[in-house]
Amino acid sequence: MKLYPVRGGIHPEYRKEQTSEKAIVLMPMPAALYIPLQQHIGAPAEVLVKEGDLVKKGQMIARSQGVISSPQHAPTSGRIAAITEVAAPHPSGLPQTTIIIEPDGKDEWAVLPEPIADPFAADPHLIHERVAQSGIVGMGGAAFPSAVKLNLGTQKKLDTLLLNGAECEPYLTCDDRVMREYADEVIDGARIMAHALGTPRVVIGIELNKPEAITIMSKAASAFAGVEVIGVPVQYPMGSERHLVQAITGLETPARKLTADLGIVVHNVATARAVHHSVRFGRPLVSRVVTVSGRAIREPNNILTPIGTRITDLIEFCGGFATRPESIVNGGPMMGQPLASLEAPVVKGTSGILALTTEEINDQPTSSCIRCGSCVTICPCGLSPVEMAAFIRKDNLEGAAKLGVRDCFSCGSCSYVCPSHIPLVHYFNYAKGMLSDLERELRKNDRVKTLVEVRTIRIEKAAEAKKAALAAKKTAAAPAATPTVDEEKTNA
């Protein structure tokens, strides 16, 4: 099949050899599981249990609130030990209400929904509903509720389900192993998803650095008409939806549009496997495969992990640290985030935990921009990182917005190639956060029409607050007024 060129991109050291040949192993059940109510994009789930309740594996313990939300299920049987915000930090580092389960060691399943007997004859709504009830979210890291994406066929004319098996982030091999070890389940899940979407065609895109996965998946797909596996070039960030679509179809997704506007919906391969479990067996999403890697880990591995397992337990299962890690990352090294605490649990979007040594991280001192233009050449979105960063440094967010900073998806390629080691992507993350805040203010207050006005209001408010604080300080520091004669008499 003809492939199409994709703009920019880089070829980082892939470092997948630490775990690519490690077959998936099962994480022993830890002493406690920590289930945050927010493991997905959208509204957090609403608690359905209370402290002391006994729960079974697969039982819903928190229900979704609204359309963009997702329920949580018990990953094993046991007792609800606590529902708290304090004891279990979220991987994001922000406080999160978390249900703590003490496993009873029986791992006993709840009564699950009946399998959907013939999913290809079933009403697509039944599949949407089942996937929503099973708490399935995008397992490539985005964690967007999958049922919402599976419903897009009711709103848009679709022709292709594109299954993302690119796994372009260095170190990560969890998707590779899922495809090699559970190819039939992935293909079945993909076909069910295609039926739910109403698309006649399924394409599975896998980077060419996973030849075993391509062979095994091609064999599993060969039994079905309309399902094809395509090897795509090894080029970061090929795993981004838009770039995978472009490589396979030649179509470019316009800024602020969805790939669905081109008739293509993209789901991750592990998500397809979760759909297979949900539809064929009624099982909700209660575990996932996580790659634990990096040279600071004694025994890197791919581990089928109950959701809610603390990262410290996962690392201990891998033999602990071989050496002191310089950095611990949640996700891949390019788009992952530094982990706030080892006490944080594995959530549905956790694809990898990396413990990196000093030699593995690029911790070079930053110097001035030499205007080499490398960041512009490699940006896969056709942006000008050097100019956007210059605007942001001058606090000119509007300038950066005009240059398209909102279209940056934080792939980190520009920071990676910059010879001056300027952390460009940090600038863009900061600017995108600030712009979202400002736009929220804009929406709240329709008196103001432009970002400049919002910024002016903010500055004025800050100046007022500063003035008030100074005045308060002066009053506190002023000597007490001399009492009047009458007052002295009264006090006496």
Contact set with ligand SF4 (CB under 6 A): 369-375, 379-381, 383, 385-386, 408-414, 417-420, 422, 424-425, 428
Q: Pick between residue 213 and residue 383 the one whose CB is nearest to ligand SF4.
A: 383
| SS3 state of residue 417 | helix
Q: Pick between residue 262 and residue 424 the one whose CB is nearest to ligand SF4.
A: 424
The pair of structure tokens assigned to 479 is 């000597």
Place of tokens 């609403």: 46
Q: Pick between residue 182 and residue 391 the one whose CB is nearest to ligand SF4.
A: 391
| SS3 state of residue 223 | coil
For residue 482, the 8-state DSSP code is P
Provide, rounded to whole angstroms, the least separation between the CB of residue 370 and ligand SF4.
5
| SS3 state of residue 21 | coil
Cα 261 from chain centroid?
22
Sheet with 98-103: list strands edge to edge. 33-36, 98-103, 78-84, 54-55
Residue 206 to residue 175: CA distance in whole angstroms = 10
Phi, psi of 228 (to 5 degrees): -135, 145
Q: Which amino acid is at 258?
A: L
Provide, rounded to whole angstroms, the least separation between the CB of residue 416 and ligand SF4.
8
The pair of structure tokens assigned to 447 is 């008196």
Q: Pick between residue 347 and residue 383 the one whose CB is nearest to ligand SF4.
A: 383
Provide, rounded to whole angstroms, the least separation between the CB of residue 429 and ligand SF4.
9
Residue 200 to residue 161: CA distance in whole angstroms = 8
Q: Pick between residue 394 and residue 461 the one whose CB is nearest to ligand SF4.
A: 394
**How far are the Cα atoms of 111, 237, 270 from residue 231, in angstroms, in the given order?**
41, 15, 18
Provide, rounded to whole angstroms, the least separation between the CB of residue 438 and ligand SF4.
19
Provide, rounded to whole angstroms, the least separation between the CB of residue 36 and ligand SF4.
27
Provide, rounded to whole angstroms, the least separation between the CB of residue 71 and ligand SF4.
33
Provide, rounded to whole angstroms, the least separation between the CB of residue 168 and ligand SF4.
13
Instruction: Count Cβ neighbours within 10 Å for each residue of 83-112 and write b for 16 or more, e otherwise.
Output: beeeebbbbeeeebbbbbbebeeeeebeeb
Q: Pick between residue 229 and residue 408 the one whose CB is nearest to ligand SF4.
A: 408
Provide, rounded to whole angstroms, the least separation between the CB of residue 86 and ligand SF4.
35
Q: Pick between residue 84 and residue 410 the one whose CB is nearest to ligand SF4.
A: 410
Q: Pick between residue 37 and residue 422 the one whose CB is nearest to ligand SF4.
A: 422
